């Protein structure tokens, strides 16, 4: 199968959605500009025109409200935020209207709105261009949250999101944009609320959210080097969350480490641990742990930024401690083939 | 055929009486939902909605009984909703503050001030997108015009030349605080115009408003982009609840008296001959009694409604 | 000691703070109106004047921003929201500025801003006037969250919040406003991040957030009737959360039930369970569970609203199941003396 | 004593050269932080800040190098911050987008568009509250004026008659999108005026702006409430980064040429005699070289800085 980037997968999914459904449109700051949101909207304006592909004023609150209004009228808008941080301007509409309209209007209306929001990382983007705030919407019933990691899932999740008759927050991590993988040309959808086992293992389960699924996958390779077998799960959907798949794995390995792509206090990792904690366990005591961004705003200085994020090696170290029961200061030697990708913009 | 004044009187009387009944019933605790009455302000919804067609769409706030009814919302379903019954317009999930009747194109009444302005703007975009003939009308208060979403939405509506009429019901108060304590320049129409939405201020005369609204809506239907009408009016009752509030001291009976003398329902009554008026009133009274009866006798929603409608189920 | 209501405790704390520190001021929609925010700001305008006590336009975003600006200039503003739901309009400023300013400006500035936000309940207030959204700010480092339950704690927590040199979300539940208890006249502060054991017990630990601490307390009385001894903890501070006190209790009882005053997905209860799950447990397998609002918007119809909230009896039932290991449909007979207070406004 | 033009030239030249050096160094990857350069727009910050006193306070956006330097922010600490060093103005926690120098009263530069407008307004309230003589100046772009917070803040500033000058640096673009594609009426000054803040639009002439700003600031200092100046200007470089961007096609070299011919730094240069100019330039070059040297040779922040300053520690 041909390999394409995450960017191209998102672009292609959008193109096919717009092609196949005249109610689909895409809008948001700069979706129609020459840089076309990292290329994810490239060519759409020329193909579908300014009615279906339009940039907006800097007015996130009203533009979110407008998306909800359009969706109530039966359109299927995709609203793009080049930074998830800016979603904080949209919370009133998403929480108080979008997530509630179907219920509080007794089922008389619905809001098939997709919100694409990107998490920044690296190159000193700093405190306000780096946040993974999706857990704040996991907290709210009435809205779905999906965070695809691979180009394959990026395409299938976007198609599922736009066809979903409820609001969906579609989370992208910008480092993922450059990854490449096999992606079918035809349209397909990910099943709602289904996690993916990226790698099977027996000693410890590692669940990684969004980009952290890749880091977890790399961590499993470091662990393999020292004879530890890690099962890696990408939940893909954070709301609804696939408790079953995660629980089955944790029951098998007896250990679960959840890696957030944001702060883990009241985060996705907290939710995963809470679900595990509530489950029925026979006699074997499961070990449960989580990692997330350091509990502070993201510092731009490269030396501090490095310390801020979990990465394959710190994840491996944590998992090893869980398996061996010994918390030492072991860290694997960095393997060149498992290095994090570099990011130097565009911003 | 009945003339415009007659039709408007019937509607205004209906709204007035429905709200009076709500106020009368409130102390019985049968209506367990905060109610924001429009008594005194009905002229605005009535005069505007007189120009609307079924395929035009209305958005409003928590103070929406008048707009809901004037646009053709079902009175029985509204009463049942206030009673929290399963036959309510939203099956007991809306209460007074989120009335909805999609068959009548009454959508999106919201209790977070200002939110509907943006939703209505998006809805108007959808109409333009689909080249539908219907326009969108969005009612909100003077207080709502202070929220950022008002400004952002005006700009977008003007930029895209959307088929929308913004109706600011300026009753001079947000809860107990006068406009002059909240707005540096008390000229909402002027603000909208500076952003790019042609606007007009209209006083409390219902027939004048009816005329201005007619001309304005005609321009919008002709594809001439959005408009705003700032409509001065006065709320007689307390901000929320069935009572009066002059004892609070933020406004006086004398202030109210000036407006009461020019009461919108009475303005219209004087334009209709006594015979017709009495017949119209009788029809309303009958409808109203039946609606209250319907609300009273309807069943509660079943327990499993609690978790229904959280997510819309996908078709197909 | 004299008994006063929660309302009066908040009012008195504000009065004393303003009296003792000229930098303290209070503002927000309707703080200066005749109803004076349920009475919590009564008399302050007359005493301190419009410079220090002022209502605002309906402009939550800019008014939050202004509070941050005032705080950066060294004032200690208290910003009041009569509904926590409206806080969604303030998220951009709170998350992107208020919580980060001290860090991202390298310690050169600080934001001693207190945000009072009230959670509504009952009387068909419905979807948009009933939310407990505090967990969304627990997710964000740089801001404190406190949710006092009793009049005593209301006073001590407000004084601590205003003197705290960081932003603090001060959570009130409106049913609590009418409760009455002994409160010292002098000024005093609650210690930061310290939970309170409301009632000792041996069989199960119940942690209740805000108003749910009262329901948990009542639940313990129902449980006592059937011979189960519950320990009840009010965490008071949600950020920082007093893991130690909760863990010590859970270690003792072997069972922990956390009751949220909001949705529990990614909520405070999820965080509490996650903390417990991460802790070291010797051999005894702890039982962990949570309750929260039903996962939907709040319906106003009284029959549905009743089902929406956890209450003393449903909490007792859940706790009994955890202790006996039998999940039946037992519910205690309602005791008149343990009935929930009634609420009929004002709104 | 040096005259105003000389002082402004020195400052403008300093800002221009500092940013040129940033652009020159950028490809070495020593500056690992997105940079938004003001090259071409320096006249605004220079002309406004020429009237400011140490106790006046400046807020700005991510495009803040010019305002930071013009208000007296430390150049060495700024360079070190861009390099991510522990000697940076925020110890490596700000990067280019959150510059701060509280000693010089440069506060609150933010990368979320529009946020500072509200923070500056609150700061001005604190000045009024404490009856301090200093005023607050808030710089932001044309794009920021579309955010709700702009509207809400103007209203509050006007309502309370706060001592604040809003400076909109209108460079006609938000990233690559022209103002006319974003604003229904391209008249930011007019919008502010309608809300209640007396406003004026000023072109690219630095000395004219200096004069207008002087008179405007005098009114604010006299207690006459807030003002807004919409200052037209032009960014030569790409929105973010050190390069040019004419190849993107959203604007042309020809557009830029019109502005370059009227370059603000050159405008000022022509007002200063050659001798003095050369002396001023030499001083700047020396300062700049030293600042870069300082940034290069400074140590990284220690690892434990990661978790310092998350919460301010309580005193006493
Ligand atoms: C965003 C928001 N802020 C505050 C409130 C509390 N509140 C409810 S009604 C109201 C006044 C609104 O005044 P206006 O828009 O003039 O409408 P009116 O009640 O006069 O019809 C306020 C402040 C709210 N519901 N939503
Ligand atoms: C709230 C928000 N929305 C979007 C962005 C992305 N963004 C960064 S700069 C910018 C353009 C701002 O334009 P303007 O205010 O004119 O300032 P300029 O860059 O021209 O100085 C945008 C949209 C942002 N940083 N913050
Ligand atoms: Mg009003
Ligand atoms: Mg610009």
Q: Does B112 touch chain D (CB under 8 A)?
A: no
Report chain A residues whose CB lies below 8 A from the CB of D84: 124, 300-304
pLDDT at residue B65 tops 70 = yes
Region of residue D241 (phi > 0: left; psi between -120 and 50: alpha; otherwise: beta): left
Distance CA A159, CA A152 (A): 11
- What confidence category does residue B123 fall into, taking pLDDT thresholds of 50, 70 and 90? very high
C-alpha to C-alpha distance for A335 and A291, rounded to whole angstroms: 21
**C299 with A103: Cβ contact below 8 A:** yes
pLDDT score, position D1: 55
Which positions of chain A have pLDDT values less than 50?
none
Ligand minimally distant from the alpha carbon of residue D144: 2
Give the separation between CA D225 and CA D213, rounded to whole angstroms. 14
What average pLDDT does range B249-259 have in this prediction?
Answer: 96
Nearest C-alpha in B relative to D155: B184
Question: DSSP per residue over D238-284, as a string?
Answer: -SSSSS--GGGSSS-HHHHHHHHTT-HHHHHHTTS-HHHHHHHHHHH
Chain B (189-218) residues lying within 8 Å, Cβ to Cβ, of chain D = 190-191, 193-197
The two beta strands, C180-182 and C196-199, are: unpaired
Instruction: Give B-chain residues touching A56 at CB under 8 angstroms.
Output: 156
- Interchain pair C72, D94: CB under 8 A: no
pLDDT tens for chain C, 347 residues: list them: 899 999 999 999 999 999 999 999 999 999 999 999 999 999 999 999 999 999 999 999 999 999 999 999 999 999 999 999 999 999 999 999 999 999 999 999 999 999 999 999 988 999 999 999 999 999 999 999 999 999 999 999 999 999 999 999 999 999 999 999 999 999 999 999 999 999 999 999 999 999 999 999 999 999 999 999 999 999 999 999 999 999 999 999 999 999 999 999 999 999 999 999 999 887 666 899 999 999 999 999 999 999 999 999 999 999 999 999 998 899 999 999 988 766 666 76
Is residue B113 lining ligand 1, measured as CB closer than 6 Å? yes
D308: chain C residues, CB-CB within 8 Å: 107
- Of all residues in chain C, the one with the smallest CA distance to D301 is C106
Pocket test for ligand 1, best of B143, B149, B235 (most atoms within 8 A of CB): B143
Interface of C with D in 76-95 (CB under 8 A): 92-93
- pLDDT of res. B1: 55
**Closest chain A residue to B56, measured at CA:** A73
Rounded distance between C-alpha atoms, residue B45 and residue B36, angstroms: 15
State yes or no: pLDDT of D315 exceeds 90.
Answer: no
Chains touching D, CB cut-off 8 Å, 3+ pairs: A, B, C
Q: Chains touching chain A at 3 or more Cβ pairs under 8 angstroms?
A: B, C, D
Run of H or E including A208 = strand A204-208
Could A128 and C96 be called an inter-chain contact, meaning their C-beta atoms sit closer than 8 Å? Answer: yes
Active site (catalytic) residues of C: 60, 129
Q: How far apart, in whole angstroms, are the C-alpha atoms of residue B252 and residue A127?
A: 51
- How distant is the Cα of B272 from the closest Cα of chain C, in angstroms? 39
Q: Locate the ligand 2 atom nearest the alpha carbon of residue D175 and give its number.
A: 11
The alpha carbon of B237 is separated from its chain's Cα centroid by a whole number of angstroms, namely 16
What is the DSSP secondary-structure string of B151-200? HHHHHHHHHHT-SEEEEEEE-SEETTEEGGGT-SS--HHHHHHHHT--EE
Q: CB A299 to CB D306 under 8 A?
A: yes
Chains contacting C with at least 3 CB pairs below 8 Å?
A: A, B, D
pLDDT value of residue A282: 79
Which of A79, A81, A102, A129 is catalytic? The answer is A129
CB pairs under 8 A between B and D: 64
184-243 in chain A: CB under 8 A from chain C: 239
**Cα of B92 to nearest chain C Cα, Å:** 5
Q: What is the pTM assigned to this prediction?
A: 0.98
Q: What is the CA radius of gyration of chain C?
A: 20
Looking at ligand 2, which atom is closest to the CA of residue D38? 21
pLDDT of residue D197: 98
Judge residue B140's burial from the number of C-beta atoms within 10 Å of its C-beta, 0-12 exposed, 13-18 middle, 19 or more buried. Answer: buried
Average pLDDT over residues D177-182: 98
3-state SS of chain C: helix, strand, coil percent to 5?
Answer: 40, 20, 45
The tens digit of pLDDT for each residue in D189-235 reads: 999 999 999 999 999 999 999 999 999 999 999 999 999 999 999 99
CA distance A194 to A241: 8
Say whether residue C297 is in contact with chain B using an 8 A CB cutoff. Answer: yes
Q: Cα–Cα distance between C233 and C255 in angstroms, integer?
A: 13
Pairwise CB contact (< 8 Å): C296 & B148: no
For the CA of B115, the closest atom of ligand 1 is: 1
Query: By the 8 A CB rule, do B240 and B246 touch?
Result: no
CA nearest to D190 within chain B: B194
Contact C105 D107 (CB under 8 A): yes
Angle at D259 between CA D258 and CA D262, to 5 degrees: 100
- Asked if A55 is an interface residue toward chain B (Cβ–Cβ < 8 A), one would say no
Query: Is the Cβ pair B307, C129 closer than 8 Å?
Result: no
What number is the ipTM of this complex? 0.98
Contact: B193, D193; criterion CB under 8 Å:
no
Alpha carbon of D31: minimum distance to chain A alpha carbons (Å): 9
Q: How far is the CA of A128 from the centre of ligand 4 (A)?
A: 19
| Annotation says A333 is catalytic | no
Give the separation between CA D276 and CA D273, rounded to whole angstroms: 6
Please tell me the distance in Å from B242's CA to the nearest CA on chain D: 32
Which pLDDT belongs to residue B77?
A: 98
Share of chain B above pLDDT 70, in %: 99
Share of chain D above pLDDT 90, in %: 98
Q: Do B147 and D152 touch (CB under 8 A)?
A: yes
Cα of B236 vs centre of ligand 1, distance in Å, is 16
- Which token pair is B44? 């605005």
- List the single residue in C with minimal CA-CA distance to A86: C92
pLDDT tens-digit series, residues C119-159: 999 889 999 999 999 999 999 999 999 999 999 999 999 99
Could you tell me whether strands B106-110 and B136-141 are parallel, antiparallel, or unpaired per DSSP bridges?
A: unpaired
Residues flanking ligand 2, CB < 6 Å: A 29, 58, 60, 86, 89; D 63, 111-113, 141-144, 171, 173-175, 239
Q: D183 and B155: CB-CB below 8 Å?
A: yes
Residue where the block lists tokens 């408790």: A243
Single out the catalytic residue among A60, A215, A271, A340: A60
What residues form DSSP beta bridges with A85? none
Handedness of CA C46, C52, C58, C60 (dihedral sign): negative
pLDDT at D316: 65
- CA-closest residue to ligand 1 atom 20: B174
CA atoms of D173 and D180, how far apart (whole Å): 9
Residue of the CA atom closest to atom 8 of ligand 1: B113
pLDDT band (50, 70, 90) for residue B108: confident
Is D182 touching B (CB cutoff 8 A)?
yes
pLDDT at B47 over 80: yes
Whether cis (ω within 30° of 0) applies to the bond prior to C346 is yes
């Amino acid at each position: 199968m041909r390999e394409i980037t995450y960017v191209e997968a998102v672009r292609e999914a959008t193109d096919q959605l717009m092609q196949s459904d005249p109610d689909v449109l895409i809008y948001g700051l700069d979706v129609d500009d020459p840089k076309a949101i990292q290329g994810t909207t490239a060519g759409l304006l020329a193909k579908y025109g300014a009615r279906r592909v339009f940039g907006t004023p800097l007015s996130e609150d009203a533009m979110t409200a407008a998306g909800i209004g359009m969706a109530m009228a039966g359109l299927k808008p995709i609203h793009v935020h080049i930074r998830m941080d800016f979603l904080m301007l949209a919370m009133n509409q998403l929480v108080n209207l979008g997530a509630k309209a179907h219920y509080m209007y007794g089922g008389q209306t619905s809001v098939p709105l997709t919100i694409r929001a990107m998490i920044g990382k690296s190159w000193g983007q700093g405190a306000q261009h780096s946040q993974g705030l999706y857990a704040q919407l996991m907290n709210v019933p009435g809205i779905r949250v999906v965070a695809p990691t691979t180009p394959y899932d990026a395409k299938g999740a976007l198609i599922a999101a736009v066809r979903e008759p409820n609001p969906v927050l579609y989370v992208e991590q910008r480092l993922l944009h450059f990854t490449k993988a096999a992606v079918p040309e035809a349209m397909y959808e990910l099943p709602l609320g289904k996690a993916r086992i990226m790698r099977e293992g027996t000693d410890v389960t590692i669940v990684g959210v969004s980009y952290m699924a890749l880091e977890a996958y790399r961590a499993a390779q470091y662990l393999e080097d020292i004879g530890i077998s890690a099962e890696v799960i990408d939940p893909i959907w954070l709301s609804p969350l696939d408790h079953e798949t995660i629980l089955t794995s944790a029951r098998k390995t007896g250990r679960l480490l959840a890696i957030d792509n944001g702060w883990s206090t009241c985060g996705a990792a907290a939710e995963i641990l809470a679900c595990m904690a509530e489950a029925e366990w026979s006699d074997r005591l499961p070990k449960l742990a989580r990692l997330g961004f350091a509990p502070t705003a993201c510092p731009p200085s490269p030396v501090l930024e490095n310390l801020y994020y979990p990465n394959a090696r710190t994840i491996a170290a944590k998992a090893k401690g869980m398996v061996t029961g010994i918390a030492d200061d072991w860290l694997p030697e960095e393997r060149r083939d498992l290095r994090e990708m570099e990011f130097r913009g565009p911003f | 055929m009945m003339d415009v004044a007659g039709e408007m009187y019937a509607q205004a009387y209906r709204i007035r009486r429905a709200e009076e009944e709500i106020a009368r019933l409130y102390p019985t605790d049968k209506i367990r939902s905060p109610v924001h009455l429009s008594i005194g302000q009905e002229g605005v919804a009535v005069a505007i909605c007189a120009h609307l067609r079924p395929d035009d769409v209305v958005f409003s706030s928590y103070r929406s009984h008048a707009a809901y009814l004037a646009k053709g919302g079902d009175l029985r379903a509204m009463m049942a909703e206030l009673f929290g019954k399963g036959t309510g317009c939203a099956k007991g999930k809306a209460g007074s503050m989120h009335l909805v009747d999609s068959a009548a194109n009454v959508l999106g009444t919201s209790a977070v001030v200002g939110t509907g302005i943006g939703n209505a703007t998006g809805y108007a975009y959808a109409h333009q997108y689909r080249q539908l003939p219907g326009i969108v009308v969005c009612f909100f208060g003077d207080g709502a015009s202070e929220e950022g979403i008002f400004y952002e939405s005006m700009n977008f509506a003007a930029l895209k030349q959307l088929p929308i009429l913004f109706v600011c019901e300026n009753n001079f108060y947000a809860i107990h605080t006068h406009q002059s304590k909240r707005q540096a320049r008390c000229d909402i129409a002027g603000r909208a115009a500076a952003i790019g939405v042609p606007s007009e201020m209209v006083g409390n005369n219902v027939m004048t408003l009816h005329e201005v609204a007619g001309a304005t809506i005609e321009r919008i239907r002709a594809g001439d982009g959005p408009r705003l009408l700032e409509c001065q009016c006065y709320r007689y009752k307390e901000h929320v609840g069935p009572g009066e509030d002059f004892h609070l001291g933020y406004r006086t009976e004398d202030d109210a008296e000036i407006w009461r003398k020019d009461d919108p329902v009475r303005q219209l009554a004087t334009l209709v001959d006594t015979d017709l008026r009495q017949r119209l009133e009788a029809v309303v009274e009958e409808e109203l009694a039946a609606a209250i009866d319907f609300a009273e006798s309807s069943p509660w929603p079943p327990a499993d409604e609690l978790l229904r409608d959280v997510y819309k189920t996908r078709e197909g």
